[in-house]
Structure 1
């Protein structure tokens, strides 16, 4: 009887809650990353214009969220182990919502910095915990679609940063923060009962010992980090490249950012569907090649049509690669489910670190080179191509018999 009960419970959980869990995961990525991080981009000039903070301090507030994100990614699992994953997910969504309300009043720079940092902590913890918790209860054949839907929340947040936030700003800066807080709170309530009550369904015991493919996993960490660097030219310099580099003005540059946001919204879903058809590993290699081509486009001055395509496709992969990497982690550690969450945490931390280093490094290089945009996009392209090469080498080494490698 002891062996029947957990299996029945696990099966019931698998069949009853996967899509409610997917909605909860979507809400978490929308609140923790989509709104908490990306909604700040159009708010920054408003903060300066309303004299809440000067330009340099407003920029530091953006960095506070990134620092908090790294902390949340590092310690999210530890926090969940001391309470429960479900409790932590609920608490982090509440924290992100409260942070929006707290930012409606510019009490002081320290007050604002603390709440922006805490919103980043919430985002990092949600990124590490939400998707793996939900996907553990989704049948393997549907994990690509479910992961795509979860990370669609990030893309929706990017799209909202160019549409919803400007509309809210018409009512005032304080009202904008309160409005974002109400939206986040509503999404928190929507997700509240959707989280699985157990960390994972009971796994079928394996009769064979499988060594964890650590080389392939380490290669994946490097590939994901290189992707973070490859996206930086579009994520930071795209609007400026169009506005000043091409001399088309800020309004036209903002239109390309909207295209980027549209791509980011649909990217995870399309990437997930592709992965369900051809597998996460193959889908990831296809994505590296497409990304390399599209990141290179601005460097060659191919015209507005190609630049529009580049904006949409790179935006799609900025969010679409996330479920691909998470699914690839599950593939690599299929026989080691207990290691999947910690591996995803390592990948997320590496991503956050490399993206921050690349952002500062490319910003310095841009200034040092006298505003050479093409150099930035070519460096991004090189990072994508290197990720592809590393992945191919890792796959070849894994499939080659050990005695041939000696």
Structure 2
């Protein structure tokens, strides 16, 4: 084989790899970035247009979290029956259909079902997208590639503060239709980029290697979900009402949160490629703990900016780190990686939903914003302690 042929084959493989990464980016943008986070700025408009009462509209938001948990559980069984690629395409289509369906609020149950379907699609896409793409890349590039894939989540958060208000100027129904059109376009862009994959054979479950380290990682990821909830749910309200700075100022900090979410996954993945996922993940817990605690220490602009950007960066940025750590722990057992990542995603989904309801209950009883951030900080510190303890026991 001559040098030109080898070069051509290398170029083809590189192009296929980047197409796979682009497909993964589109999947996370549609399934999580838009299907979950675009609802937040739409919520006041839904209430203002009298589509639903405030209490009902909040429950519709919770439907997405319930669907996400169901999707995280269903992802691997669906891929075993079809293929990962077919499942990914189907779920992106389902998320797209949910946007168009939500443009017509026929009744509460109709809207609830489609918000649940949007969450279901997001959970399946989170479980399957990156693990379908990353095995086709060199290990030294998987951190950066994972960062690009999960940057789609950050792009959705940023769009929730910029694109959605522009769509709302055309009307609420037009906003849902616009999100559906964007989702459809991204689905078509990703359609042919997924790596070729055969239907996975049914295999008897085996005991997962490195069980102690993996169980610790599941617990850490779950606690990380708890630590992120105060910012995800209460940051804007804390700034607007808790500090008395107004909704406009709160929205400005949410944009900073979104900008951090865009760059966080790529930066984290790139650093982890160089330093190792275990080391970067352990430091991450401490950085997150400090950033979550900052609003309780100072309500100054610099503290709020730093906290918004850092927590925003790690909201999607923690995902490629945990996925990379799963691959590190199961480097010699590639067949077990998807199962382990599915379990990690399920643990995250359960604790995120529980924290959302739990912290909302605490706030409804106490009205204390600082208590929420302290709970989040303690969760991050606990994750660090578990990681440190498990690391020492494995050394």
C-alpha distance after superposition, 1:59-108 (max 9, x if no partner): 11111111111111101110111111111100100110111111111122
Q: 1:199 to 1:321 in 2, by over 3 A?
A: farther
Check whether the contact 2:243–2:299 (CA below 8 A) recurs between aligned residues: no
Looking at structure 2, the residues matched to 252 and 70 of structure 1 have their Cα atoms a distance apart, in angstroms, of 33
Looking at structure 2, the residues matched to 374 and 141 of structure 1 have their Cα atoms a distance apart, in angstroms, of 41
Where do residues 23-42 of structure 1 align in structure 2 (5 Å cutoff)? 23-42=22-41
- How far 1:372 moved relative to its partner? 1.5
Find the partner of 1:379 among 364, 370, 375.
375
Where do residues 124-143 of structure 1 align in structure 2 (5 Å cutoff)? 124-143=123-142
**Would you say 1:256 and 2:214 are equivalent positions?**
no
Question: What residue in structure 1 maps to residue 163 of structure 2?
Answer: 164
C-alpha distance after superposition, 1:165-207 (max 9, x if no partner): 0000100111111110010000000000000112699xxxxxx
Point out where structure 2 has 5 or more consecutive residues left out of the alignment: 1-8, 201-206
- How far 1:238 moved relative to its partner? 0.7
Looking at structure 1, the residues matched to 335 and 107 of structure 2 have their Cα atoms a distance apart, in angstroms, of 44
Q: 1:196 to 1:363 in 2, by over 3 A?
A: same
Looking at structure 1, the residues matched to 369 and 112 of structure 2 have their Cα atoms a distance apart, in angstroms, of 31
Check whether the contact 1:13–1:137 (CA below 8 A) recurs between aligned residues: no
Looking at structure 2, the residues matched to 328 and 192 of structure 1 have their Cα atoms a distance apart, in angstroms, of 28
Looking at structure 1, the residues matched to 377 and 271 of structure 2 have their Cα atoms a distance apart, in angstroms, of 23
Query: SS of the counterpart of 2:136?
Result: coil
- How far 1:313 moved relative to its partner? 0.4
- How far 1:359 moved relative to its partner? 1.3
Looking at structure 2, the residues matched to 234 and 253 of structure 1 have their Cα atoms a distance apart, in angstroms, of 12
Query: SS of the counterpart of 1:248?
Result: coil
Please list every run of at least 4 consecutive aligned residues from structure 1 whose deviation after the TM superposition is greater than 4 angstroms: 10-16
Check whether the contact 1:225–1:350 (CA below 8 A) recurs between aligned residues: yes
Question: What residue in structure 1 maps to residue 326 of structure 2?
Answer: 329
Where do residues 67-146 of structure 1 align in structure 2 (5 Å cutoff)? 67-146=66-145
Check whether the contact 1:13–1:196 (CA below 8 A) recurs between aligned residues: no
Instruction: Say what the alpha-carbon RMSD is for the aligned residues.
Output: 1.8
- How far 1:306 moved relative to its partner? 1.3
Question: What residue in structure 1 maps to residue 265 of structure 2?
Answer: 268
TM-score for both structures, normalised by structure 2: 0.94
Question: What residue in structure 2 maps to residue 17 of structure 1?
Answer: 16
**Would you say 1:391 and 2:367 are equivalent positions?**
no
Point out where structure 1 has 5 or more consecutive residues left out of the alignment: 1-9, 202-209, 400-406
Where do residues 169-248 of structure 1 align in structure 2 (5 Å cutoff)? 169-198=168-197, 212-248=209-245
Q: 1:13 to 1:126 in 2, by over 3 A?
A: farther
- How far 1:367 moved relative to its partner? 2.4
Q: 1:63 to 1:211 in 2, by over 3 A?
A: closer
Query: SS of the counterpart of 1:37?
Result: coil
Find the partner of 2:362 among 358, 365, 375.
365
